[in-house]
Structure 1
Amino acid sequence: MAHLPPGGGDAKPYGAAVALAAPLKDGDCVVADWPGAAFQGTPKLAVDPTCAEKVPDGQVMAVVAATSAEAARQHGPAACEQRTQEIREKLADVRSYAVVPTRAGFEAAGRRTACLVLGAHGAVYGPLDRHRTPGMWFVDTANMQKRDCLDAPSLRRAQLVSCAGPHDQQVLGFTRLSAGTTLKKAAAQSDAACARDVPPAQYGYDPGVYEAASWAAKGAWHSGTHLVVCSVQRQNGGTMEGTEP
């Protein structure tokens, strides 16, 4: 018993409300159950070990060490904002959230705050950024990121591939369709919206060779955000070879 960490060997790292028995680590996908509205109060978290089994709400993108529980509480949230800024700028609709250890659970948490990137209005549906692997198929657009390169064998399927090799499209940014637009109508309107709001020419693509393309998915309509992923492709349907802007 003398070798148990301070606070007791069974102390929950982040307290009873978060309810995790083990500390979060970089790359863990999580499901967040908020007590009320999202980002109000403390969420109960569960780890999704496959990052697909439970439709993850977000992922641990960094961990930040602290000298004490008080220091973690005081500095952890700001540190997480800083550590996740780059990835948040690549995604359409996410927020940073710091999971700070309690005083009793500080040692059990490894003296670290876990920095989550969570969907701001819904799930992210899969891994994010460096935790994704080439060849991964997207099940939703929520974890598509700026400058992702895609193979698109159909209008409904997209696969993450290396930008160094042949690919069909590259993600440039995002736009939002009006609240009254149904997902079915989005298929007919989203290309034009992307051409207007995220024109490929602004990124150096020759308008005589390239054109705007788009992706819309159920997640953005379930959440009410109506966000669309805007990409670029060759007008002749040919592949892009990694030499584009």
Structure 2
Amino acid sequence: MSNLSPVDRAKFIAARRACDYVEDGMKVGLGTGSTAAWMVRQLGEMVREDGLRIKGVPTSSRTAHLARETGIEVISLDEAKWLDLTIDGADEFDGDLALIKGGGGALLQEKIVATASDRMVVIADAAKEVQALGAFPLPVEVVPFGWQTTKALVEETLAGVDVLGREATLRISGDGPYVTDEGNYILDLALRRIGNPWQTSLVLNQIPGVVENGLFVDVCDVVVIGRPDGVVEVRDVENGASTQRVDILGEDANLFADE
């Protein structure tokens, strides 16, 4: 691990700590993104080497492929019906554990899976924490039909919401629009600051053509924040504002030693 950047070290540490929440026999939602990928690999190692028995419900085709590669049994949400736990990353989180997600384009499946779980654990590096959401562009998934009209409606509607910006940009991949696993497009909203995430989410989802938005409010239960030095900070909504720091490198002091 000595060749990892400080940010990747932090992501790895957070992912490793979050795997402590996974118990034998659980049905686990598997998030999408660079931080979640560390978690999937770690769980796969626990399946192969420790005999952990879990069933994983992936939030994207990319995660499904990675989970199968690492040896995790993959099932659909319809097969699982309900999940014990979902572990996923975030693009931003605030002091209330409200999130912006969807930078990886999987916000719809991520939100469905997260809300079908007893608990949602978010893994992140410290740079993802903000005082107010909105610096990261807010992804909004829209149906392709009439997307330009939907875009105009979104920008018009934002005039009545407590945000600092209203510009919506169609996400591009290659020579055309980025297409989600569900066949939809994504608008990225440059809001700069979101004064009321709950209201903003509610208003956006009432616009015809909008499928879902990347604001996760009252969904996350725990945030695990990794740091490059191996220290993790755990924030649990059930314990109010309490925090704990766990130096997991104390158990394996040479985890990042040069080989």
The TM-score normalised by the length of structure 1 is 0.30
Structure having the larger proportion of residues in helix? 2
Bigger Cα Rg: 1
